[in-house]
Amino acid sequence: MLLSMTGYGRGQHILDGKTFIVELRSLNSKQTDLRLRCQQSLGEYEMKLRKQVADFASRGKLELTVDIRREDGEDGVSLNLPLLKRLHSELVAYAPFNLGGDAGALLAGLIRLPKVAETQDQELSENDIDALQQATKNCLTNFQAYRVSEGQATEEDLRNSASSIQQFLEQVEPHEAARVTRVRERLKKQLDEFQSRQNVDQNRFEQELLYYLEKIDINEEKVRLAQNCEYFLEELSNEKPVKGRKLSFISQEIGREINTLGAKAQSADIQRLVVQMKEQLEKIKEQLANVV
């Protein structure tokens, strides 16, 4: 199972004429960063809510919104009438022009001013807290379902990219024999040019040639790259919900082996395969940036 780091969930619960609504959004982030938007009356429960959501989401830039609505419309909003009257009087008295026109529009503008319309948070009862907990559970359930759905598509892309690297690696072997032959011929040509100036020990030449061929041997890189790709696919298949960082570490090892393979290639055909492997590896890195 793979979880996407981006997600959205909404949950609600109705109790005693109140509707408790909880919404959670998440974006990519290396760390857990939670922003909570709620009324101050949550008090001590706010810290529990933060921990519950942060532990559940594991990673990501999170935005949690808690809203409590009353069916009777009494949501704790009140007008600061003394301030409203004073502002209206001063506006009428000092305005250098006629304030005629729509009085409703003028009133609507005044109400939007700071401290004219204020929200008075109401204390939450134990039943309210229970209802809020239920709304939060519903929200997290929907949030998780969203991330699982997104994660399934991401997992498929990652699996295809890793399998493509394996396929390109299998295509390297047919080019290895020609690669060694070209290296041997190039060294022999250089040796023939050098022999015109002084004698060369043939046995020493063969020893140096074997040493050089060992330095450019790519068998170890092929084996390690194949093992890392297989390890990557195994991690994708396990049921751990949080594995983005581990997959990133494995992808780094895959990148090291591909780079070393390219540095030792000594073959245009193998280099082309290496470039295609790197292209698939970049796709993997992009996808892993959005994995929990």
Q: Please tell me the least confidently modeled range out of 128-132, 177-181, 247-251.
A: 177-181
Highest mean pLDDT among 72-76, 77-81, 134-138: 134-138
What are the backbone dihedrals phi and psi of residue 173, each rounded to the nearest 5 degrees, phi first? -55, -45
Residue 207 has pLDDT above 80, yes or no: no
HSE at residue 98, side-chain half, CA atoms within 13 A, is: 3
pTM comes to 0.72
- H or E element, residue 166: helix 126-170
What's residue 192's pLDDT? 72
Closest to 144 in 3D by CA, of 9, 11, 289, 1: 9
CA-based nearest residue to 269, from 178, 204, 184 = 178
pLDDT at 89: 77
What pLDDT shows up at residue 123?
72
Check whether 170 has a pLDDT greater than 70.
Answer: yes
Tell me which H or E stretch contains 52. Answer: helix 45-57
Least confident of 123-137, 188-202, 204-218, 276-290: 188-202
pLDDT above 60 (res 98): no
**Contact 27/61 with Cβ under 8 angstroms?**
yes
Q: What is the pLDDT of residue 185?
A: 79
The mean per-residue pLDDT over the stretch 107-121 comes to 65
Look at residue 11 and give its three-state secondary structure: strand
Q: What is the mean pLDDT of residues 50-74?
A: 86
In the chain, the amino acid numbered 91 is L
**Range 172-190 average pLDDT:** 80
* Ramachandran category for residue 28: left, alpha or beta (phi over 0 → left; psi -120 to 50 → alpha): beta
Cβ 32 vs Cβ 54: under 8 Å: yes
- Tens of pLDDT, residue by residue over 136-162, are 999 999 999 999 999 999 999 999 999
Q: Which residue has the higher pLDDT, 31 or 278?
A: 278
Instruction: Return the exposure string of 204-226: e unless at least 16 CB atoms fall within 10 Å of the residue's CB, then b.
Output: eeeeeeeeeeeeeebeebbebbe
pLDDT score for 248: 96
The residue among 48 and 195 whose pLDDT is bigger is 48
Higher confidence at residue 249 or residue 16? 249
Give the whole-angstrom CA distance, residue 92 versus residue 87.
9
Q: How far is CA 150 from the centre of its chain?
A: 12
